[in-house]
Structure 1
């Protein structure tokens, strides 16, 4: 027995020795280690610095994430260092970026040779303690484009303003949009000698929404869109590119493009402008209830911040700019059965319709709630808006099906294209373009992160020949060749005989050729709170609810059944400014 025990002890010691020599280390070495992970735009590379068994620093060495979403990495970095924990929660609204960053950090830690269990986790620091009550002239609910615009306008009119945002970052849907802005008679049109007018724009809004828009609201949007764009450019400091896009349903090319063609430029500049006004932005603060006095006037908001209930009083009133309900499957299905469970969404995860619920609870009228729009060319895996697909708005691509045939006008309304896509094999479309279109549009440079990510995920192919590109997605190559030949003839003759495509027809030339697969996803909810021309909320009885104003996607009856592309940024700017002006009177 003694011999057996001695042998077992010796065997055990040998295993321990082997584990220490060849397996995980018994302590975490000091030093800096590099790791990689894949985010939304491709590879994220970080360096992780360990000191005294703790994470002391994380530096992002390389990344291809969009500017707005990259803020999520800063949030995660701070939490990992504060808690000494590599498995912190993802940042809402930036899932793929968060996952990629965490994987990169974990990969870097693996280079230490130590096990994660050696990290002594610390309690997450308690959030800052807020006051139980705040007093202001104006409370704005939502820090997207409409909310920030309204807050800045009110503040510049002398109002004391506080902005509430339930998400950990400002921006909402504006941040993850392309940020294009429809404005008739704009400076780029003037330079290119393109004729346009507010009347023509108004007609497009009404026609695009099947004449279901409130004519008075549509008229204001058309008349004030250019002023709003100039305000963003001249007062806010927003930079626009020196070209435009031609969105479906518009009669002419009138959509201004922000720097880098994303909504980050608008949100970044608006946030900086808000700071200049000295107006506080309370993040991770979810408004839950509107407060009314005995006369039925809205006088404030109740909100929650990490379990703490806070009351915000508003002497002049509240501006509701909480966005739509495009991410809320249940609410979508409640108002339109077809738009529920079966669709992914381009929207921020914060687009849950909270503001609609709060407003309806105090008697606000909700209108057009069944009008929900799908964007036709979205990521088949995540539902995200595909900026690379904007080559379509430059009129330099065609949409084909699995059979290699066109099936819709590429510059039609979003709802028309989306319905047509859903009728094709696999309920997807394939966007085809050539080398000259890519070179002229620069989509692989402007949106390099997305482009590289699509290539890596096999959602987009670049090939030297048409046949090779078609084979990648198992598209009928012979039919695609015929389709391209027909289109080139239409371009030569100056008329699309199949679908009467608007705009200038440009023939396809030499390769390389590109094909991107996409599918429709929920993009915009046209329904919402009823307002008057002063952005005052109207009750179910047709009366103004004193002290309550609204702007942005939370508002209904502006776009009718269908919003035209790039009209949303004009909408949130125009009515955000009106709300800020009206509440200041």
Structure 2
């Protein structure tokens, strides 16, 4: 009997060891796990995989659990935009330190943050566990007393978006000591999340395609597009220097431009260059790399709070703050404000235009809150056109995010219809006109249709695959073998939509659109499968801001230069009038960013 009992005990021990080894690195079969001291854990130790969904698609992680605690999180794969992927590191560190996925999102990176948290929760599920089974930890309170740090530089730049980094590069190459302050956890600003197309008259691709264009036509298009509310002298500076700016980005910064152009609404001809991948990722990645090459420091999570002036009113520095430090940055030469617009600041929007309230979503990053405008006004800077707030017509109805699917429209391959299956606006019209037309339709939305030929020609899968995956998942995009099937998915009048398509195809044959005078008719909609996107307008650009002169110097309310202060980018006003033409923003920020950097360094 003793021998039998001994054999049974040995067998039981063997099975126990096999069970422990199986759990290590495996997913299922969780259960009580005894550790040193006789304590029993709720989650079996091991490495578990989980998948979430961020802005760029799937985020896969491996979560290591030891003694009911998350001890490590490895990111296996993701496709988040460079800069936004900083949120992955921050979120995973916080989950480990607090031992829970219930941590705060990273400001400006909501979709990425939630994607990581979703992936970690999925890993817990694969372990047969929930977040409540994780051991509670004491979160240490951070010391409330901040360090006080003072520094001195030739130039301090507020904002690490396209205009700010461009200014920094030019100033550094002119011999100045430069530092950039950025309140967000990543560089790039709105440039990073834009399509980043760039309007430049007489560019090399226009010459290749035989397109006749000139600077004066670009000037007149911009003035007309902004209803002649812009300062003509600033528009001329932008148009005259746009091509040189695009060449500088290409030759000095390393930006790769695609070998084709886009035709944006309001422009008389096709003149807009496209960055590699058709997104601001190419522009920002190359600008940041150039700044790193020049050893220009970019302080992330560091918010400028006030401009410092001397007794004469000259700007001589910036006050700023981070999580643990209060900074005083004094300057030998100047401060450049490049902090962007205020599209994400609902209170500020309503202050200047009561119609743009909280019911309207925004394409902007959460950092677009008008801080630089407020700081400049506090020391006497003049503001122009603050009531001019532009919406973009084709955005995510759920989040307000600008949709790159809309590239197909800018290549000319789509039609836009309403719930009744009818066209109601020129697809290449001005953004404000299109947006208001969409808001007047059933459900305040539109439906953008293209066929397989247009889908391939627009490189949507190639350039924006993760976005398409998101749109399918959230039932904002349908792909169907027949037009009727695609229409039925959204409850669109299929018969009328077919009639609309038939008429449109006849316009392509004749080369003339008698209904809405569409400026470009490159292809019919006739080859399945067919794609329909549901979209709505959202706040995209604030045309108003700080008044500057041709040298990018900030002006006061009497029109005098405020010594020591420059500004560039969306933080400025007067360049785009009451409506910005698509692809003018990149020309604007590059041209005036370069001017600001060069002049501030003098």
TM bracket, shorter-chain basis: over 0.9
Match of 2:421 among 396, 400, 404: 404
Q: How far 1:254 sits from its partner (Å)?
A: 1.2
CA distance in 2, matches of 1:67, 1:144: 13
Aligned-residue RMSD, C-alpha? 1.9
Report if aligned partners of 1:84, 1:121 keep a CA contact under 8 Å in 2. Answer: no
Greater displacement, 291-300 / 49-58: 49-58
Q: How far 1:306 sits from its partner (Å)?
A: 1.5
Is 1:160 the equivalent of 2:177? yes
Match of 1:44 among 59, 77, 95: 59
Match of 2:281 in 1: 264
CA distance in 2, matches of 1:130, 1:263: 35
CA distance in 2, matches of 1:123, 1:557: 49
Matches within 5 A, 1:59-98: 59-98=74-113
Match of 1:236 among 253, 259, 276: 253
Q: How far 1:282 sits from its partner (Å)?
A: 1.0
Match of 2:529 in 1: 512
TM-score by length of 1: 0.93
Greater displacement, 268-277 / 463-472: 268-277
Greater displacement, 35-44 / 534-543: 35-44
Match of 1:9 in 2: none
- SS of alignment partner, residue 273 of structure 2: strand
Q: How far 1:449 sits from its partner (Å)?
A: 0.6
Match of 1:101 in 2: 116
Match of 1:313 in 2: 330
> In the TM superposition, what whole-angstrom CA distance separates every residue of 1:18-60 from its partner, at most 9, and x where no partner exists?
xxx9866542444321011222344322211235655343233
Matches within 5 A, 1:98-177: 98-114=113-129, 115-118=132-135, 120=137, 123=140, 132-177=149-194
Q: How far 1:191 sits from its partner (Å)?
A: 2.0
Q: Residues 22 and 567 of structure 1: is their aligned pair in 2 closer, same or farther, counting only changes over 3 Å?
A: closer
Report if aligned partners of 1:79, 1:124 keep a CA contact under 8 Å in 2. Answer: no
CA distance in 2, matches of 1:420, 1:187: 35
- SS of alignment partner, residue 344 of structure 1: coil
Match of 1:461 in 2: 478
Is 1:376 the equivalent of 2:393? yes
CA distance in 2, matches of 1:174, 1:22: 46
- SS of alignment partner, residue 233 of structure 2: helix
Q: Residues 54 and 370 of structure 1: is their aligned pair in 2 closer, same or farther, counting only changes over 3 Å?
A: same
Matches within 5 A, 1:437-476: 437-476=454-493
CA distance in 2, matches of 1:79, 1:342: 33
> In the TM superposition, what whole-angstrom CA distance separates every residue of 1:410-440 from its partner, at most 9, and x where no partner exists?
0000001001111111111100100100011
CA distance in 1, matches of 2:82, 2:155: 30
Q: How far 1:67 sits from its partner (Å)?
A: 4.0
Q: Residues 125 and 31 of structure 1: is their aligned pair in 2 closer, same or farther, counting only changes over 3 Å?
A: farther
- SS of alignment partner, residue 132 of structure 1: strand
Report if aligned partners of 2:86, 2:185 keep a CA contact under 8 Å in 1. Answer: no
Is 1:342 the equivalent of 2:359? yes
Q: Residues 269 and 124 of structure 1: is their aligned pair in 2 closer, same or farther, counting only changes over 3 Å?
A: farther
Is 1:31 the equivalent of 2:66? no
Matches within 5 A, 1:284-299: 284-299=301-316
CA distance in 2, matches of 1:193, 1:68: 38
Report if aligned partners of 1:82, 1:124 keep a CA contact under 8 Å in 2. Answer: no
Q: How far 1:302 sits from its partner (Å)?
A: 0.7
Match of 2:265 in 1: 248
Report if aligned partners of 1:24, 1:113 keep a CA contact under 8 Å in 2. Answer: no
Q: Residues 112 and 338 of structure 1: is their aligned pair in 2 closer, same or farther, counting only changes over 3 Å?
A: same
Q: How far 1:341 sits from its partner (Å)?
A: 2.0
> In the TM superposition, what whole-angstrom CA distance separates every residue of 1:256-278 from its partner, at most 9, and x where no partner exists?
11111111111111111111222
Q: How far 1:194 sits from its partner (Å)?
A: 1.7
Q: Residues 81 and 156 of structure 1: is their aligned pair in 2 closer, same or farther, counting only changes over 3 Å?
A: farther
Q: How far 1:91 sits from its partner (Å)?
A: 1.2
CA distance in 1, matches of 2:563, 2:32: 66
- SS of alignment partner, residue 231 of structure 1: helix
> In the TM superposition, what whole-angstrom CA distance separates every residue of 1:451-494 from its partner, at most 9, and x where no partner exists?
01000100010000010000001000111010000001111111
Q: How far 1:337 sits from its partner (Å)?
A: 1.1
Report if aligned partners of 2:30, 2:127 keep a CA contact under 8 Å in 1. Answer: no
CA distance in 2, matches of 1:382, 1:172: 18
Q: Structure 2: which 5+ residue stretches go unaligned?
A: 1-28, 34-39
> In the TM superposition, what whole-angstrom CA distance separates every residue of 1:362-385 from its partner, at most 9, and x where no partner exists?
000000111100000100000000
Q: How far 1:116 sits from its partner (Å)?
A: 3.8
CA distance in 2, matches of 1:475, 1:65: 34
Match of 2:225 among 205, 208, 211: 208
TM-score by length of 2: 0.90
CA distance in 2, matches of 1:157, 1:456: 49
Q: How far 1:167 sits from its partner (Å)?
A: 0.8
CA distance in 2, matches of 1:70, 1:282: 17
Q: Structure 1: which 5+ residue stretches go unaligned?
A: 1-20
Q: How far 1:143 sits from its partner (Å)?
A: 0.5
Is 1:302 the equivalent of 2:322? no
Match of 1:486 in 2: 503
Q: How far 1:72 sits from its partner (Å)?
A: 2.0
Match of 2:438 among 421, 426, 432: 421
Match of 1:390 among 401, 407, 424: 407
Q: How far 1:396 sits from its partner (Å)?
A: 0.2
Match of 1:435 in 2: 452
Q: How far 1:151 sits from its partner (Å)?
A: 0.9
Greater displacement, 121-130 / 319-328: 121-130
Report if aligned partners of 2:60, 2:77 keep a CA contact under 8 Å in 1. Answer: yes
Report if aligned partners of 1:302, 1:310 keep a CA contact under 8 Å in 2. Answer: yes
Report if aligned partners of 1:388, 1:444 keep a CA contact under 8 Å in 2. Answer: no
Q: Residues 506 and 127 of structure 1: is their aligned pair in 2 closer, same or farther, counting only changes over 3 Å?
A: farther
Q: Residues 546 and 454 of structure 1: is their aligned pair in 2 closer, same or farther, counting only changes over 3 Å?
A: same
